[in-house]
Amino acid sequence: MADLGQRFRLRTSRKSASHDRSGCAMAARTTSFAARDRVRNEIGEVCRSGTGPGPLLHGVLDRLRTQVGFDAVFISATDPSTMLFSQAGIVEGIPSAMCAPWLDNEFAADDFNKYADLHRTHSGPSTLQRATFGRPARSARHRELNTAYGFGPELRATFSVDGECWGALNLLRAENAADFDDADLDLVGSVSEFVAKGLRRIVLAVDVDGEPHAEPGVILLDGDGSVVSMTEHAALYLAELAHPEVQQAGMTLPGEAYVVGARARARASGVPGPSPVARTRARNGQWLTLRADCSRNVSGAVVSTAIVIEPSRTSEMLPLFVAAHGLSSREQAVLAELVKGATTAETATALHISPHTVRDHVKSLHEKVGVRSRAELISQLYRLHYAPGFEVQHHI
């Protein structure tokens, strides 16, 4: 087992919640329409620049804070299939002790302005003040976390496009500060699609640095979510994850791993929601899949949670590939047959369509993915998930 205390150090900002926030960025805020348009355009450029998810999120925040004052922030990419946090995240001004219960609230409790609800209802950015009709104390997150750590107004948003959520944002102001106003909501809402498309585009720009790990790793948590042990391969994988770490009972886990475990415990307790699975890109460019499940004792109580981390399989990366390219349901079905190595005739038989229709869908796939042949199409999928030993037969 790895030396957990030495290997993992808290990367989350240690800024104290009791820090004097009188110098909040609100003081320097410019409110002119021209300034907001300039910031909106700059964020659009950042999101089209093709940088990695971390630099993209930093670039968005650096520009957003010039117009929207806030004292603390959480911003993260998400897995579009499960909306669990993945790839990259930034935590500033939020005390480390607040992070674990904040994540537990998001994935295991009923509350206002949950990211899944904001995405599902297409409601755009929202403040807790507005969602509770001026009674934020109705929110457990506000009562038990925000106010306990000196925060008040809260703004939340998702970065969604074409029915998929690619990221999430949470802004906080000091307890006695003014609430976020219409101009704040409008600006955040106007850049949401830019950020979503930027994060989606990054999924396809993968460069693997060095030899990827191949063996699965296993992390064992106790009933409260604290780390009990892990395999050597798990420690190697965790060191490659880019999300800020979450502290629990003196130990830390990268946010991606903590969230998957928290979601597994929530599901075991009967809380509805997505499967405890997340695909994330490691620092070296390799795509990894994290999944978790709980074990119970004879009385039915959850006694432990196991998190498995391993290189993503083709079947796990195909939905991400589909979402990133905006493929139609029929194009997805054709692609699935091509991945199996099926010929045009075999694909037509399997999908009960004509060979001519298959060729039309393949042509559309080529145009959307930006390739000229089936071999290139499959190679793009291979490059995305970088599975060692992955082989595909191409039948033209």
Out of 283, 314, 345, a domain closes at 314
- Provide the pLDDT confidence category of residue 114 given band limits of 50, 70 and 90: very high
Q: How many domains does the chain have?
A: 3
Answer yes or no: do 126 and 197 share one domain: yes
- Provide the pLDDT confidence category of residue 183 given band limits of 50, 70 and 90: very high
Give domain status of residue 112, yes or no: yes
Out of 280, 298, 314, a domain closes at 314
Answer yes or no: do 88 and 169 share one domain: yes
- Assign 3-state DSSP to the chain and report helix, strand, coil percentages, each to 5: 45, 20, 35
Give domain status of residue 393, yes or no: no
Answer yes or no: do 332 and 304 share one domain: no
Which of these ranges, 29-33, 85-89, 138-142, has the smallest mean pLDDT? Answer: 29-33
pTM: 0.74
Q: What percent of the chain has pLDDT over 90?
A: 36
- SS3 (DSSP) at 257: helix
Answer yes or no: do 64 and 19 share one domain: yes
Listed residue (97, 112, 86, 91) closest to 263, CA to CA: 86
- pLDDT at position 31, please? 56
Which of these ranges, 16-20, 246-250, 360-364, has the smallest mean pLDDT? Answer: 16-20
Residue range 162-172, pLDDT digits in tens: 888 999 999 99
Give domain status of residue 209, yes or no: no
- pLDDT at position 209, please? 44
Listed residue (90, 98, 97) closest to 73, CA to CA: 90
In what side-by-side order are the strands of the sheet with 126-127?
85-92, 72-78, 164-174, 151-161, 126-127
Answer yes or no: do 163 and 19 share one domain: yes
* DSSP string for residues in 153-210: EEEEEEEEETTEEEEEEEEEEETTSPPP-HHHHHHHHHHHHHHHHHHHHHHT-----S
Out of 203, 233, 260, a domain closes at 203
CA distance 153 to 146: 9
Answer yes or no: do 267 and 118 share one domain: no
Task: Give the domain extent around 221.
Answer: 217-314
User: Does 372 score more than 50 pLDDT?
Assistant: yes
Residue range 280-293, pLDDT digits in tens: 888 777 788 999 99
- pLDDT at position 148, please? 95
- pLDDT at position 338, please? 83
- pLDDT at position 250, please? 64
Answer yes or no: do 277 and 185 share one domain: no
- pLDDT at position 381, please? 65
Mean pLDDT of the chain: 81
Answer yes or no: do 192 and 263 share one domain: no
**Structure tokens given for 248:** 């629990």
Section 194-222 average pLDDT: 75
CA distance 287 to 284: 9
User: Does 182 score more than 70 pLDDT?
Assistant: yes
Which of these ranges, 35-44, 206-215, 304-313, has the smallest mean pLDDT? Answer: 206-215
Section 231-245 average pLDDT: 86
Section 259-276 average pLDDT: 88
- pLDDT at position 356, please? 93
Domain at 244, CATH number:
3.30.450.20
- pLDDT at position 383, please? 56
